[in-house]
Structure 1
Amino acid sequence: NWQAAIYDLNEIVKYDASHFDARLYRGRCYFQLGNWARALEDISAAIHLNPNDPSPFYYRACLLRKQYPKAALQDFSVSLLLDDSYDNRHSFLHRGILYMALDRHEDALVDFASVLQLDKNLACAHCNIGVVHLTRTEYFDRAVKHFSDAVKSEPNYTRAYICRAQAYEKMKNYKQALLDFTRAIHMSPNNHHLWVYRGKVLLLMGRTKEAAAAVEQTSKVADMKQVAIQQQSMIYGFLRDHNKTVAALQQTARMKPTGPVLFLLGKAQMKAGLLHEAIKNFNQALEVMLPWHHKQKMPKETADVYLSLGMAHLEVGQNQQALNALNQAIHIKPKNPEIR
């Protein structure tokens, strides 16, 4: 009961505004209630009252990591300078997660390894190392090992099964991928995405009828009409019925013309041979995703849109427009080998 806790802590602060524990715990309560401004005020006050305690630096870093990642990194680092023991292992974990969000994957691996030196059974750390190897280094065998270690540490950790299945899929070990997606569905039967993933693997195995049946199951577990339409488009995509994919995504785009939906629609139109329509929707997606202020950087997701736009221009013989789009993709995501 966070609000009741705040009421009691207010009484303590009223009589002693320099009470370290009261300010720290009240800040944590505000954090839980989503009152970020008051949480930041109390936790910062706790830091000033006792700058040698690692806890408030950790909690302030958790509070700042979305909007002010550089400040959060600094707070996590200070917390670890004050205490790099088992008791503060979550600072290593969350700093590693923040490094991943900032595309500093080598630094992330170091932090996750530090976590496991302190607590070898922390499933989340194993899983995050596996994700780095799955998505960045492409050492899929290492990824599988860490996902398996995560499962050993926490047998009901659904995310580890899903990630391991994706690694097996990359390795073309479809039998094991299917087994892990099926296990994940048993643990989370209402997750419609899992049915889609399972259907995709069945399709790769050549079991087309089972694939269609598995993916169509999404319509029975999805709550929102829009989600059902998107899943329907994925069904048709897996079955390589590109015209029906386009029709389903067009219906979604009419309801909610977001950048990702318009991008998917453009990609489906390319597969269906509707190149000029695809170019139009890629451009619309970029307009939607354009930052509101000209000094802001383009989101990294737009690099993929520019890449597809460039490929579509190439297909219709518009070489200069293709070059312009591909240059933009490289500018936004220069380290992406696929774009180069």
Structure 2
Amino acid sequence: MTRHRGLAALALAALLPLAACQSAGDAVDSLAQIDTAQGSAENIGSLTAVIERTPNDPDAYNVRGAAYGRAGRYREALKDFDQAIALDPNSHQAYANRALIHRYMGDQGKALADYNRAIQLNPRYDTAYIGRGELYRQAGRTDEAFRDFEQAIQLDTTDPRAYHRRGLLYQASGQHQFALEDFAMAISLAPGAPYGYNGRGLSYLALGDEENAFSDFNTAIRLDESVAESWANQALVFERRGEIDRAARSYARALQLDPEYVPAREGVARTRGSA
């Protein structure tokens, strides 16, 4: 149901006068979409009680592993996913979950092997294609990333990450009209998340549509005031309009939220003394 549009030549320099504010999107990752498991101590305790009652249930380890992952307890998550796989070597969900933990821990080789295994076990598992595609995207393997996001979309995924990430690839190659379509789809699937709005806003800005870009960045902030990227993007519009004092305040807010966010740091340096 999706039109195929290859990335031909990725002209990464095509984007930006908009500086380095491209949407990273990493925060929209999830542990194989296991929504029932949260990372609270209470939930982990409840899941541990389930495992004590049914120690040979691979699903119980898989769900607790996801909870550990959400809590940032990655080594414990790995142990649970290892156990889930030992109990059920054909669990494609456990392989995909473990792959994401390997990604978070910086072991990209093991992550790739687990995504490959998940896809081998279930070639229609959209989550694994999306995870592997993001692994490829971050490694600069853009053609392979595009194919994986495209495959997930052709499988009729309802996961907004597939559209958001493919939109980032279109955006990076200067194909902003295609990017706008993908970001719009990501927004329709996850209207409460800021990332689609940030991505779409940057493509609007690249096309000279400052009004719609500003509206998207403000919506992103309204949805979640804790995302540094949204404030830096808003500041970028203020800066382009010559409203340097307002830009300085928004850049400062972005830097406060994420002291390592380079566009915020560079924006503060450019507008210093105006806030």
TM-score by length of 1: 0.57
Deviation at 1:34, TM superposition (A): 6.1
Is the CA contact (8 Å cut-off) linking 1:144 and 1:164 kept in structure 2? yes
Asked if 1:214 is matched to 2:219, the reply is: no
Asked if 1:73 is matched to 2:72, the reply is: no
AA matched with 2:122? D
Deviation at 1:168, TM superposition (A): 1.8
Query: What pairs with 1:211-290 in structure 2 (closer than 5 Å)?
Result: 211-219=210-218, 223=222, 226=225, 231=230, 233-238=232-237, 240-241=239-240, 243=244, 244-250=246-252, 252=253, 257-260=256-259, 265-272=264-271, 274=272
AA matched with 1:129? R
Q: Percent identity?
A: 18
AA matched with 1:213? N
Is the CA contact (8 Å cut-off) linking 1:76 and 1:91 kept in structure 2? yes
> Where does residue 143 of structure 2 map in the other structure?
141
Rounded to whole Å, the distance in 1 between the matches of 2:256 and 2:201 is: 27
Asked if 1:46 is matched to 2:53, the reply is: yes
Structure with bigger gyration radius: 1
Rounded to whole Å, the distance in 2 between the matches of 1:56 and 1:127 is: 24
> Where does residue 297 of structure 1 map in the other structure?
none
> Where does residue 58 of structure 1 map in the other structure?
62
Higher relative contact order (CA 8 A, sep 6+): 2
The 1:77–1:225 alpha-carbon spacing in structure 2 relative to 1, beyond 3 Å, is closer
Rounded to whole Å, the distance in 1 between the matches of 2:270 and 2:113 is: 41
Deviation at 1:97, TM superposition (A): 1.1
Is the CA contact (8 Å cut-off) linking 1:93 and 1:111 kept in structure 2? yes
Please, which of 82, 86, 90 is the counterpart of residue 87 of structure 2? 82
Is the CA contact (8 Å cut-off) linking 2:78 and 2:98 kept in structure 1? yes
Rounded to whole Å, the distance in 1 between the matches of 2:37 and 2:235 is: 46
The 1:101–1:199 alpha-carbon spacing in structure 2 relative to 1, beyond 3 Å, is same
> Where does residue 100 of structure 2 map in the other structure?
97
Is the CA contact (8 Å cut-off) linking 1:31 and 1:39 kept in structure 2? no
TM-score by length of 2: 0.69
Asked if 1:162 is matched to 2:164, the reply is: yes
AA matched with 1:120? P
Deviation at 1:259, TM superposition (A): 4.3
Deviation at 1:176, TM superposition (A): 2.1
The 1:211–1:121 alpha-carbon spacing in structure 2 relative to 1, beyond 3 Å, is farther
AA matched with 1:62? A
How well do the aligned residues superpose, as a CA RMSD in angstroms? 3.6
Note the alpha carbon deviations across 1:33-58, whole angstroms, 9 max, x for none: 962463254145236xx4x5434433
Please, which of 101, 109, 112 is the counterpart of residue 109 of structure 1? 112
Secondary structure in 2 matching 1:156: coil
Secondary structure in 1 matching 2:199: helix
Deviation at 1:248, TM superposition (A): 2.8
Rounded to whole Å, the distance in 1 between the matches of 2:189 and 2:61 is: 36
Note the alpha carbon deviations across 1:299-319, whole angstroms, 9 max, x for none: xxxxxxxxxxxxxxxxxxxxx
Is the CA contact (8 Å cut-off) linking 1:232 and 1:248 kept in structure 2? yes
Q: Which moved more, 1:213-222 or 1:157-166?
A: 213-222
Rounded to whole Å, the distance in 1 between the matches of 2:37 and 2:163 is: 34
The 1:179–1:269 alpha-carbon spacing in structure 2 relative to 1, beyond 3 Å, is same
Q: Which is helix-richer, 1 or 2?
A: 1
The 1:61–1:265 alpha-carbon spacing in structure 2 relative to 1, beyond 3 Å, is closer
Note the alpha carbon deviations across 1:61-118, whole angstroms, 9 max, x for none: 2343334322321231232123212xx2211111111111111112111111111112
The 1:219–1:169 alpha-carbon spacing in structure 2 relative to 1, beyond 3 Å, is closer
Q: Which moved more, 1:168-177 or 1:229-238?
A: 229-238
